[in-house]
Structure 1
Amino acid sequence: MDLSQIKMVVSDMDGTLLNSKHQVSDRFFELFKSLANRNIRFVAASGRQYHSIVDKLDPIREDILVIAENGALVKDKERELLVTPIEHHLKNDLLSIVDHIEGAHAMLCGKYNAYFDGKSAPFLEQLKEYYSSYEILDNLHDVTDEIIKIAVYHSINAEEYIYPAMKGLESQVKVKVSGLNWVDLNHSNAHKGHALEKLMNAYGLKSHEVLVFGDYNNDLEMLELSDYSFAMANAHPNVKQIAKYETLSNDEFGVEHILEQLV
């Protein structure tokens, strides 16, 4: 494995760069300095909202590119490079479908603010981990903000209890199981692969110059773009099937293990 031509490193957050306690290691920040010294760009690519991502990476927030909300928002510092919202009428149709799924809780994700309703209150502490900027409203159907993602939460298993009811919508929206408890609904063109492709084109990068890490189904499209795609040991079976390589788990510093070889 020859990593000598890598010019960009792209990593998912939860289950990948973050450990099971949702923490970034000190070792990663040390390795980031080595990447920067070699003019290798770092991209944080997550289903999280923008504010939540940069809060986790606060020491380097001014030096990274961010793919947020599964690719619906891409930013370079304060500059928006890509925004792909869900059509307003479709947003309310999707909310109505979620309302009829037992145990499902919808969150609306604007570019910089999330919206919960009262039904999500019992899960508020869990939700705060992913949404650092939010409002609690009586009725999500009344939200007029531009929405770039609908995140649907299930306390037991989203792939088992939510995805079967949503997969029939895949001709209208991108439906992704993004974690044990989450199914995400985005515009059909809003996914990490589309966002990364835009960045690769903007910086003139080829597949052999990009290193990508992921662990769940919302990472599949971006993993396919790289000759050096890595599935975490804790990854979903679909990710291990698509990725060309495998590294250690997120709790065993799998990202750092490969970055040490890179630098």
Structure 2
Amino acid sequence: MGEHMAAWFETIDQVALGRINTVQDDVLTPTGADRFLVPDEYNWIHWAYATGVNLSGARIVTPSLEVNKSDLDIVPFQDGSDLLDRHEVAIWVPKRFIELVPSESIEVQTSEDGGTTSQQAFVVLGTAENEPMADGQIRSIRANGTTTLTADQWTPVTLTPESSLEPGRYQLVHFMCHGVSPIAARWLPQGGGFRPGMFCSPAASPGQFDWSPEVWDRLGWHNMLEFTHITFPQLEIFAISADTVQTVQMWVIRIGDL
């Protein structure tokens, strides 16, 4: 509640910065093949990242940023691999959220220095402030999925918790998705709406659980989503190959009875 992860992806050869295509999004309004319209209220950039085997640059571009002469480069970025480095995660987190103009277009431009390769970028848009997490004990839940992911697009995954939840209403305050090939994951709220997301820790088990939490710790610990023990939410995952095993660690707060 308060964030939405948008994605861009294209396999392309471009030495200079140029637009890459958007990834289909059921919430954001596309404008052309490579831009979204900035949604009302969710018109602040919270954080972003970009990856690519030969990636040499990545930049967020909007008309308002151009008016302000702001070259909003995504730095650091992950080059040398489509997957993030689990121990030195290249995530750009601005000191303050960056305000955009509702309904203006937003695009990501990338460049590469090694021929035609895949390039992907993820931008988390949100409200001016994240909603604080509720009071109460933070519980840890592990959930698993066995969906065959489709490469280079969002794939919905049904998750099964390893332990049955105590009946009641819950607030998700942070999470991490693990698997061999995921780059990003975002939640599908019950009834639709904006989809809060997070980068993923890619590796084969058990190595996927060996990752650095320093940047990750700055990106959560607020009200991301609410659900019940009956309406356990689905996750959408963006991966680079047809991964078939997904593990999600969730941190939740029980906020009341049904």
- TM-score normalised over the length of structure 1: 0.26
- TM-score normalised over the length of structure 2: 0.26
Higher-strand-fraction structure: 2
Higher-helix-fraction structure: 1
**Structure with bigger RCO (C-alpha 8 Å, 6+ apart):** 2
